Amino acid sequence: MSDHPFYSDSGFWQFVVAGIAVVLSQCPPVRFWFKRAKLDVECFDRIVLNEEVGLPNVQWHLAITNTGGREIRIQKITLTLVRGQERKELNARGYFEKLSDQQVTLLTPFRLKPGEEWGHAVNFIVIAPREARQAFSAAAKTIKDDITTKRAASNQLEEADPAFVQPLLALFDANFFWRTGEYEVTLNIETDTPKADLHRSFRFTLFESESEQLRSHRDELKFGNGVYFRSPPVDPHFADVHQVV
């Protein structure tokens, strides 16, 4: 047996250092060890406004970063829109994985590790009651079938029967939200750690001509535009948005 204790062997300490290095490589950087759970968000300075039979919907590019020292689960993202006495809450339901994507990816709860960023164009919608969604689906199918039958005979742009369009016109008039005025916007990000929840306030202005451009979508419903397909002049509006400090 050697007369020298094992800890005097340089090979032993090389082994210990290598082991510690392996352990540390699997851990978050030291700068994160004592940091609390925290989020930050960067929002693009333009917001996209649209409608679905009058109901408002919004697309906004968000970049959410975990700037804290713990993993965070993003559970829900919402927008609250206020104009005067009117108020709407929109839920984030989908996002574009890539800007070139045509199909929306369903937004479900996701996790961010310390230092990790999640950035995408997010779609916010009003979740209508089930009965209203069913009524819209039935009316949309009726209009599509009527126009398809007429176009098969004439091969021209056709209008649906006014009796089929009227229910959607009534829905549009009842739901239309994008009226002229100043809008207050609150972005809410809810997490599994309430202290890390994030709330940011913004504002934008919708002028009369811009409101009318969105309202003019109503005139296209009789052609099925904005019902079972969307093409110009059923276009969104891009509004400049400013953070409220």
Report how far residue 239's alpha carbon sits from residue 241's, in angstroms, rounded to the nearest whole number. Answer: 6
pLDDT greater than 70 at residue 25: no
Render pLDDT for 199-213 as a digit per residue (tens, 0 to 9): 999 999 999 999 999
Angle between helices 130-154 and 162-175 (to 10 degrees): 140
Distance in angstroms between the alpha carbons of the first and the last residue of the chain: 73
Write down the residue that tokens 């994008």 correspond to.
178
Checking if the pLDDT of 162 tops 60, the result is yes
Which residues, other chains included, contact 147 with Cβ-Cβ below 8 Å and sequence gap of 6+? 158, 159, 160, 223, 224
Cα 48 from Cα 215, distance rounded (Å): 15
How confident is the model over 169-200, as pLDDT tens digits?
Answer: 999 999 999 999 999 999 999 999 999 999 99
Is the predicted pLDDT of residue 1 greater than 60, yes or no?
Answer: no
For residue 160, which phi and psi values (nearest 5 degrees)? Answer: -75, 160
Q: Is 53 left (phi over 0), alpha (psi -120 to 50) or beta?
A: left
Q: Is the pLDDT of residue 11 over 90?
A: no
Confidence of residue 99 (pLDDT cuts 50, 70, 90): confident
Q: How many CB atoms lie within 10 A of CB 211?
A: 18
Q: Give me the count of residues in the chain.
A: 245
* Cα–Cα distance for residue pair 67/115, rounded to 1 Å: 6
Residue-wise pLDDT tens digits, 40-94: 999 999 999 999 999 999 999 999 999 999 999 999 999 999 999 999 999 999 9
Report yes or no: 108 and 118 within 8 Å, Cβ to Cβ. Answer: no
Q: Model-level pTM?
A: 0.84
